[in-house]
Amino acid sequence: MGAPSSTNHFRSISLPSRVTPPSCTKTATKINELKALENLVGTSETIQSRLIGLAELYVSVNELVGAPETQQALSRHQNGTLVEAALEGSIGFLDSCSTLKDLIVLMKENVQTLQSALRRKCGDSTLASQIEAYLCFRKKAKKAVTKSLATLKHLEKKIDSYLFVEVGHDHGSLATKVLKEANALTISLFKSILIFVSTKAKTGTRVQVISKLVSTHTSTHKHNQMFQTEVETVDSALMLLHKNMRKGETKDVDIQMTQKRLQILNASLEGFEDGLDFLSRILIRSRASLLDILVC
């Protein structure tokens, strides 16, 4: 399930040969690694690897942006206009990261409530109510996902508009190129997480809405249509269990299967939460690095 696609390829980044401090080589390597991960099926393990990798990339980016030559080049460009635009983009990323984390935490709480109900072996009516409450939450989560995807799409257009600017200096041009790559990888990853926590709708309407909001080059979305995420397997198990309860045909095997799938999903959500928390701290440092340029 985590094998690379044979039909999707990525273009590796090559940085200017005249500016090759160790941080540049490390940054280019990490960008290419993350692009390769984009071509893997969007499992929870892959997404968690991308979260860690993206945080590590921003550490390298911060080293590059913090170099005196880079700071001088960026601060000279239109009196720091490019830096101010990058700072505005960083706010968007921090807001999106916070929104994602809130969604993951809320989903984890709902999962754990269900786990608790199943462990207590509540009566069918109580357990059925808990399942209905979870499925109701899932519908609300889909709406939140659609809204967040629209926000990311708007942010993507905004960022692209200022990062196409030519700085006209080796260090400044390099920093701009790296920032553009990092921003694209960040948006792609955030989209992948949103798609992961959103299940396929029974009708094509919501799938079509989400598809329009996701860039056509996002291979993760294409692959996600070929397998069930942990979120989808839980939904399937819960709907089957709920159906059997209504018929008075509750089976221990159904409850055990649901418990196992909830446990797996909970572990994935905890991994996402930890990864987003780590990434958020690094993004704050990245913002601080950009602010340092304006006060120099």
In a domain, 12, yes or no: no
Pairwise CA distance, residues 273 & 203, whole Å: 30
Task: Note the pLDDT tens digit of each residue in 19-74.
Answer: 455 567 788 899 999 999 988 888 899 999 999 999 999 999 988 888 888 888 88
In a domain, 4, yes or no: no
Helix (H) or strand (E) run with residue 183 in it: helix 170-196
Pairwise CA distance, residues 152 & 133, whole Å: 28
Collapsed DSSP state (helix, strand, coil) of residue 195? helix
In a domain, 16, yes or no: no
Q: Could you tell me the pTM of the whole model? A: 0.82
Q: Residue 214: pLDDT band by 50, 70, 90 thresholds?
A: low
Q: Is the pLDDT confidence value at 292 over 70? A: yes
In a domain, 3, yes or no: no
In a domain, 289, yes or no: yes
Query: What confidence score (pLDDT) does residue 177 get?
Result: 85
Q: Which of 6-10, 84-88, 287-291: highest mean pLDDT?
A: 287-291
Percent of the chain with pLDDT over 70: 76
Let me know: does 190 contact 153? Beta carbons within 8 Å: no
In a domain, 227, yes or no: yes
Query: What confidence score (pLDDT) does residue 247 get?
Result: 82
Residues comprising the chain, all counted: 296
**DSSP 8-state secondary structure symbol assigned to residue 77:** G
Pairwise CA distance, residues 183 & 24, whole Å: 17
Alpha helices in 66-169 (DSSP H): 68-76, 81-120, 124-163
Q: What is the mean pLDDT of residues 121-133?
A: 79
Q: Is the pLDDT confidence value at 15 over 80? A: no
Q: Is the pLDDT confidence value at 175 over 60? A: yes
Pairwise CA distance, residues 100 & 121, whole Å: 32
Range(s) of the domain holding residue 60: 22-295
Angle between helices 252-295 and 81-120 (to 10 degrees): 160
Q: Is the pLDDT confidence value at 1 over 50? A: no
In a domain, 10, yes or no: no
Task: Note the pLDDT tens digit of each residue in 71-109.
Answer: 888 877 655 677 888 888 899 999 999 999 999 999 999
The more confident residue out of 116 and 173 is 116
Collapsed DSSP state (helix, strand, coil) of residue 4? strand
Query: What confidence score (pLDDT) does residue 194 get?
Result: 95
In a domain, 11, yes or no: no
Pairwise CA distance, residues 128 & 120, whole Å: 13
Q: What is the tally of structural domains in the chain?
A: 1
Query: What confidence score (pLDDT) does residue 224 get?
Result: 44
Match 């440092």 to its residue by tokens.
285
The more confident residue out of 98 and 168 is 98
Q: What is the mean pLDDT of residues 158-181?
A: 71
